[in-house]
Amino acid sequence: MVANNKVDSLSYDVEAPPPAAAAAAPPPASSSPAPARPAAPVTRQGTASASASVLELHKVSVPERRTTAKALRQRLAEVFFPDDPLHQFKNQSSARRLVLALQYFFPIFQWGPEYRPAGVRRVITTSNTVAVVAVAVQGISYAKLANLPPIIGLYSSFVPPLIYSLLGSSRDLAVGPVSIASLVMGSMLREAVSPDEQPILYLQLAFTATFFAGALQASLGFLRLGFIVDFLSKPTLTGFMGGAAVIVSLQQLKSLLGIVHFTSHMGFVDVMRSVVNRHDEWKWQTIVMGSAFLAILLLTRQISKRNPKLFLAAAGAPLASVIISTILSYIWKSPPSVLGVNPPSANMLTFSGSYVALAIKTGVMTGILSLTEGIAVGRTFASINNYQVDGNKEMMAIGIMNMAGSCASCYVTTGSFSRSAVSYSAGCKTAVSNIVMAAMVLVTLLFLMPLFHYTPNVILSAIIITAVIGLIDVRGAAKLWKVDKLDFLACVSAFLGVLLVSVQMGLAIAVGISLFKILLQVTRPNLVVEGLVPGTQSYRSVAQYREAVRVPAFLVVGVESAIYFANSMYLVERVLRYLRDEEERALKSNLPSIRSVVLDMSAVTAIDTSGLDALSELKKVLDKRNIELVLANPLGSVAERIFNSAVGIPSGRTASSSA
């Protein structure tokens, strides 16, 4: 209902008291109005006594007035500093603040003094297991996936873990190369530069792209803009990684079949055409060895899934495969595939020339993907062990790690789920595992590299296929179909885009569909007609709660979204359509015509000037039809804007009315 023709100042409580309580309640005093409550006794069929229909109105309480500077400061603090990082420095001495600052920027000073030497033996055992994965799978195989020399992958398992152990806030995150970043870097750079024909230029672009990836990650953390990575939704990543896994697996057919002249394109059609056209180059020895080791690796993977206690045995299968295949390769005198150690690469970074744009684009793409994966893995294990991970500190740690790594012959690295899972399964609880694992990799680099001299490419391809096949989440896609069709569409679009067009195009299509979904939800907010649930004082959606009944002569509409310029006119149109339908229903059922439209705004988190104008226009339309408009339960920020608008009631005025 409206008092003093100022609808924006009124509140209508949509929770009705029992009829007896409403009848016994005395009329409110004008100086102290009672909370507004509809007191109509409603039966299950929705009938009510019109004479007993009483509505009390009261002025909406407005939050304490704030200056523009104070409001802006509070808003920026919520956006960029939701964790309130400076709270721990309050009421502390200067010396204590210095210690807290060191612990904040270098978490090793926080857990380091508490570390006990008794756990060193377990950490060494754990780190040896992780080093197996680092050397056999992620060090050698993922570097090949990025079209880089295998030694680059081993360097990426040495320098970055040391830096992360100083700066990272996660106790369980094990750092190293990951499949998705390796795939994206390899596919994007290979489209412009051949790693076989121009290996030096390819290395320069890989290191430069790694530097730009680190700079982007560190900048997002420093500026506290980590929420940007949230635009890569889970459905998008599910489809993207599934398509990427198929593409990667198809690329390994070159080594599994022994083909020499293979296509440089990544598309599904081009790869299959090359496989068929080059059937005369297939080698039966390579096919037998590759198929045998691939079957063993897939079998151990399935065993570890069914029996988690055998996870470490499955993790050691790649190293065993490398050793056995190396021995067989030496017997057959196959050509070596792992070469010497690379020097530091600071002099190979290039920031000029025609390929800089490609390096920046690759760095941005791989940086965002690796950052998303690293933070997700860190938060996953943090939730298991009941502690918090600072997302912005993680971004800075991963970014600085990659920037430094680009100067030490490393490519993009981040938190690896497989390494972290091995570390967690072995019982490691601190970042010491990264330090010990890096030391083990260093030993491999210095003394054990000749053992990998004859490691054949076919076994590396088998390891890659085993590693990336887990990225194909069929159950996750099926769940998306059941839950949200638009999310499923984004997933399928990413999958087909990567498979049939290109990696970056598939990701771009999926992100575009995700953004379209957001725009659709913003421009077409959900509105529902609400009714009283019998036996309660709650008004709920009549479509969801079939027992809920409408109040005669009232149309209660729940607005379940913020009201912005993009959806304000839709809101007006939708309310008028609801009003038309309710009037037609009332006419057919011989019920009283609608006298009041109540907008339940308890779920409206924000409103802008266009939304306020739309409500004013709606009021004008309803006034012409002698229908009153009531805004119910506006939140504090919404009520504040209503009162600050031109149509708000000045502070201190009260209003009540009955009908």
* Per-residue confidence band for 266, with pLDDT thresholds at 50, 70 and 90: low
Same domain, 94 and 192: no
Same domain, 114 and 135: no
Domain coverage including residue 131: 127-473
The single-letter code of the amino acid at 231 is: F
Q: In the predicted model, is pLDDT for residue 39 greater than 60?
A: no
Cβ atoms of 503 and 183 within 8 Å: the answer is: yes
- pLDDT tens for 148-177 read 888 888 888 888 988 998 888 888 888 888
Backbone angles phi, psi at 174, to 5 degrees: -105, 130
Q: In the predicted model, is pLDDT for residue 659 greater than 50?
A: no
- pLDDT tens for 182-234 read 888 988 898 888 888 888 999 999 999 999 999 999 998 888 876 776 666 77
* Inside any domain, residue 28: no
The whole-number pLDDT of residue 44 equals: 35
Which residue is associated with the tokens 């299968």? 317
How far CA 116 is from CA of 111, 119, 164, in Å, comes to 10, 6, 20
The whole-number pLDDT of residue 20 equals: 38
- The more confident residue out of 125 and 88 is 88
Q: Which of 454, 473, 492 is the last residue of a domain?
A: 473
Backbone angles phi, psi at 38, to 5 degrees: -75, 135
**Which residue, 551, 404, 636, is CA-closest to 46?**
551
Same domain, 558 and 631: yes
Tell how far CA 204 is from the center of its chain.
Answer: 31
Same domain, 375 and 344: yes
CATH of residue 597's domain is: 3.30.750.24
Same domain, 420 and 544: no
Tell me the three state secondary structure of residue 500: helix
Sort 29 into a burial class: Cβ within 10 Å, 0-12 / 13-18 / 19+. Answer: exposed
How far CA 126 is from CA of 16, 119, 132, 317, 427, in Å, comes to 62, 10, 10, 16, 7
Cβ atoms of 548 and 541 within 8 Å: the answer is: yes
> CA 285, CA 265: separation in Å to the nearest integer?
26
* Inside any domain, residue 519: no
Determine how β-strand 174-176 pairs with β-strand 554-559.
unpaired
Determine how β-strand 554-559 pairs with β-strand 596-600.
parallel
Same domain, 549 and 441: no
Same domain, 466 and 593: no
* Inside any domain, residue 512: no
Average pLDDT taken over every residue of the chain: 76
Q: Between helices 474-483 and 485-500, what is the axis angle to 10°? A: 140
Q: In the predicted model, is pLDDT for residue 311 greater than 90?
A: no
* Inside any domain, residue 631: yes
Same domain, 280 and 162: yes
Same domain, 449 and 564: no
Same domain, 301 and 428: yes
Tell how far CA 124 is from the center of its chain.
Answer: 33
* Per-residue confidence band for 418, with pLDDT thresholds at 50, 70 and 90: low
* Inside any domain, residue 84: no
Q: Which of 435, 451, 473 is the last residue of a domain?
A: 473
- Please tell me the pTM assigned to this model: 0.65
> CA 133, CA 140: separation in Å to the nearest integer?
10
Total count of domains within the chain = 3
Residues 6+ apart with CB under 8 A from 275: 253, 257, 259
Same domain, 444 and 533: no
> CA 568, CA 611: separation in Å to the nearest integer?
5
Q: In the predicted model, is pLDDT for residue 428 greater than 80?
A: no
- pLDDT tens for 332-357 read 665 554 444 446 788 889 898 889 99
Interval 89-101 mean pLDDT: 80
Longest dimension (CA), the chain: 100
CA angle 560, 564, 567 (to 5 degrees): 70
Which residue is associated with the tokens 């009520």? 639
Residues 6+ apart with CB under 8 A from 229: 220, 368, 371, 372, 375
Same domain, 306 and 257: yes
Would you tell me how many other CB atoms lie within 10 Å of the CB of residue 432? 22
Would you tell me how many other CB atoms lie within 10 Å of the CB of residue 547? 13
The whole-number pLDDT of residue 404 equals: 93
Dihedral sign, CA of 312, 315, 320, 323? negative
Cβ atoms of 36 and 655 within 8 Å: the answer is: no
> CA 36, CA 16: separation in Å to the nearest integer?
9
**What phi-psi label fits residue 321: left (phi over 0), alpha (psi between -120 and 50 degrees) or beta?**
alpha
Q: Which of 473, 502, 517 is the last residue of a domain?
A: 473
